[in-house]
Structure 1
Amino acid sequence: MSSSQPGSCPCQGAAGRPTILYTLLSPSVRDWPSVAPARGRCLCRQHRPVQLCTPHRTCQEALDVLAKTLAFRRDGRCRVPLFRLGLAQCTVPCQVAEVPMPSILKKILLEKPSSGAGSSQRPDRPQPSLAEVQWLQCCLESFWSLELGPKEYAYLKGTVLFNPEVPGLYASSHIGHLQQEAHQALWEVLEPWCPAGQSRLARVLLMASTLKSIPPSLLGDLFLRPVIGDVDIADLLEDMLLLS
């Protein structure tokens, strides 16, 4: 992958603090000196907030993927990895456009000054940035380039489900054996399509590991928040379980 994860921001100085101009023009920074500037407050294009171009269609596809993980709801640690794999398998699109933002001058002239510490409010929860979504697209496109089939995805999900490193397991050795069987089954389904089946298996597992770099908060803000609002995903899954 040629892209890199979202890093430092040109709006910040060498010490990671906002520049003087940004501090002067941003009331939120002055009101909250102990809080680092949120990703949605950055002035750079890469860190400007974005939103889905077709939120209802895309979010519905993401909710369908999330519903397929309900069978594994009791293991909260595997829910997010399975959701990531589901997004890759179902090729859920994530085309975005910049959120219209008022000009700095308009914000200065129209923003009401806070009357005191008790009346001041924290800024709204920021939306995903362009850099974050580009990293998500890079991870998904690299995974799509593997052109995995339904069986390969099924066995790959098995390697995620049977994780002996999860704390609190009563039979971790047995779970580890099941994970080895899932790896073996994945290798067997890959071998006929590639003479070096073992190396392809290593590549598939490597690409799957890159999906772990996608933060769950980004997935929730991008795919779920536009349709369900600021609802806790765990509570949403509980409601879906009761209705199913």
Structure 2
Amino acid sequence: MDFLCKLISCSGYQDQHPHTILYNILSRQESGYLNNKLNRSTATHNCHCEQRKIVCLKDPKATCQVASSVLVKTICFLRSLPSFCQLPSADQSSLLRHCWVSLFVLGLAQDKIAFEVTDVPNSSILRQILLGPGPTEKEADRPTLAGVHKLKTCLHHLWNLDLSPKEYAYLKGALLFNPAVQGLSALLFIEGLQQEAHRALREVIHLLYPEDTVRFSHLLQAALSLQTVSHSLVSELFFKPVIGNTNMLHLLTDMLFVQ
């Protein structure tokens, strides 16, 4: 019953259907328990219904096109690095699987890609009542407003830092060559490559901002925040409208290794 109260409070159902049987049952003045729940939900409105909303791109055709372009640039960046191409193919695949989302978001930031989302219509009230409040397995992977907000926060953080092209390149290298990825066979070599990327990033920061002693740490913090963006969010939001049910990791592997 608590779920029904929250559902009505959050969906605007009360205003749209003030005389339905369901509404009359739930809103009877003598039912103090239900009224207290409704009042508490209305007063705070912190049931996170907005954040759980499933969303999609407002202009999928244009946005998916530019997103695909960013992804191609990301794969081309990897293939242009001799140090990456010299790694065993299994290590290349592992690093790609771990970092492709972070590199893609860096690409969105570097190309100044902005996008808007819109709500996906909710399933009917009756269906939610009968099946319960939890998302289905399929819905659990779909983009939510909260996920998009996290992604946009990362983008705005990077834009506020106003990275130079070299800073973007070395930050990508620092994210790519991650010795923490499990199962790497060339672990020491990859660790050395990450250290080299950090050293190069420090040098370019010192050259561009000689008085800024905290920029390096700010850039690394921004890079770490990218790892909070989920693979499913990026795949579902930017690429599923184009590739359908094609496995994203299989597609990336083909792009990396197929000539």
- Provide the TM-score with structure 1 as the length reference: 0.69
Residues 21-70 of structure 1: CA deviation (Å, up to 9, x unaligned) = 16999xxxxxxxxxxxxxxxx98223222111111111111112222333
Q: What one-letter code is carried by the residue in structure 2 that aligns with 1:184?
A: R
Residue pair 2:101, 2:234 contacting (<8 A) in 1 also: no
Residue pair 2:101, 2:229 contacting (<8 A) in 1 also: no
Q: Which residue of structure 2 lines up, in the alignment, with residue 21 of structure 1?
A: 4
Match of 2:203 among 160, 174, 188: 188
Instruction: Give the Cα separation in 1 of the matches to 2:256 and 2:209.
Output: 40
Helix, strand or coil: the match of 1:97?
Answer: strand
Q: Which residue of structure 2 lines up, in the alignment, with residue 138 of structure 1?
A: 153
* Structure that is richer in helix per residue: 2
Instruction: Give the Cα separation in 2 of the matches to 1:205 and 1:95.
Output: 27
Q: Which residue of structure 2 lines up, in the alignment, with residue 119 of structure 1?
A: none
Residues 91-142 of structure 1: CA deviation (Å, up to 9, x unaligned) = 222311112346526x68xx9x99xxxxxxx675353222221121112111
Instruction: Give the Cα separation in 2 of the matches to 1:220 and 1:83.
Output: 11
Instruction: Give the Cα separation in 2 of the matches to 1:123 and 1:170.
Output: 35
Assess, with a 3 A threshold, how the Cα gap between structure 1 residues 132 and 168 changes in structure 2: closer, same or farther.
closer
Q: What one-letter code is carried by the residue in structure 2 that aligns with 1:81?
A: S
Helix, strand or coil: the match of 1:195?
Answer: coil
Q: What one-letter code is carried by the residue in structure 2 that aligns with 1:185?
A: A
Q: Which residue of structure 2 lines up, in the alignment, with residue 92 of structure 1?
A: 113
Instruction: Give the Cα separation in 2 of the matches to 1:133 and 1:195.
Output: 35
Helix, strand or coil: the match of 1:148?
Answer: coil
Instruction: Give the Cα separation in 1 of the matches to 2:247 and 2:206.
Output: 42
Instruction: Give the Cα separation in 2 of the matches to 1:166 and 1:181.
Output: 17
Assess, with a 3 A threshold, how the Cα gap between structure 1 residues 23 and 137 changes in structure 2: closer, same or farther.
closer
Assess, with a 3 A threshold, how the Cα gap between structure 1 residues 86 and 173 changes in structure 2: closer, same or farther.
same
Assess, with a 3 A threshold, how the Cα gap between structure 1 residues 224 and 22 changes in structure 2: closer, same or farther.
farther
Assess, with a 3 A threshold, how the Cα gap between structure 1 residues 156 and 59 changes in structure 2: closer, same or farther.
same
- Provide the TM-score with structure 2 as the length reference: 0.65
Assess, with a 3 A threshold, how the Cα gap between structure 1 residues 162 and 123 changes in structure 2: closer, same or farther.
closer
Q: Give the root-mean-square deviation of aligned CA atoms.
A: 3.1
Match of 1:47 among 41, 46, 52: 52
Q: Which residue of structure 2 lines up, in the alignment, with residue 213 of structure 1?
A: 228
Q: What one-letter code is carried by the residue in structure 2 that aligns with 1:45?
A: E
Instruction: Give the Cα separation in 1 of the matches to 2:228 and 2:238.
Output: 17
Match of 2:167 among 144, 152, 170: 152
Q: Which residue of structure 2 lines up, in the alignment, with residue 104 of structure 1?
A: 125
In the TM superposition, what is the alpha-carbon distance from 1:243 to its structure 2 partner?
6.5
Instruction: Give the Cα separation in 1 of the matches to 2:257 and 2:209.
Output: 44
Instruction: Specify the structure having the higher radius of gyration (Cα).
Output: 2
Assess, with a 3 A threshold, how the Cα gap between structure 1 residues 45 and 160 changes in structure 2: closer, same or farther.
closer
Q: What one-letter code is carried by the residue in structure 2 that aligns with 1:216?
A: H
Unaligned 5+ segments in structure 1 are 1-17, 26-41, 115-121
Question: How many pairs were matched up?
Answer: 200
Instruction: Give the Cα separation in 2 of the matches to 1:46 and 1:19.
Output: 19
Residue pair 1:187, 1:197 contacting (<8 A) in 2 also: no
Assess, with a 3 A threshold, how the Cα gap between structure 1 residues 198 and 176 changes in structure 2: closer, same or farther.
farther
Instruction: Give the Cα separation in 2 of the matches to 1:103 and 1:172.
Output: 52
Write the mapping of 1:205-244 to structure 2, written as runs, cut at 5 A.
Answer: 205-240=220-255, 244=259
Q: What one-letter code is carried by the residue in structure 2 that aligns with 1:220?
A: S
Q: Which residue of structure 2 lines up, in the alignment, with residue 35 of structure 1?
A: none
Residue pair 1:84, 1:211 contacting (<8 A) in 2 also: yes
Q: What one-letter code is carried by the residue in structure 2 that aligns with 1:44?
A: C
In the TM superposition, what is the alpha-carbon distance from 1:197 to its structure 2 partner?
3.9
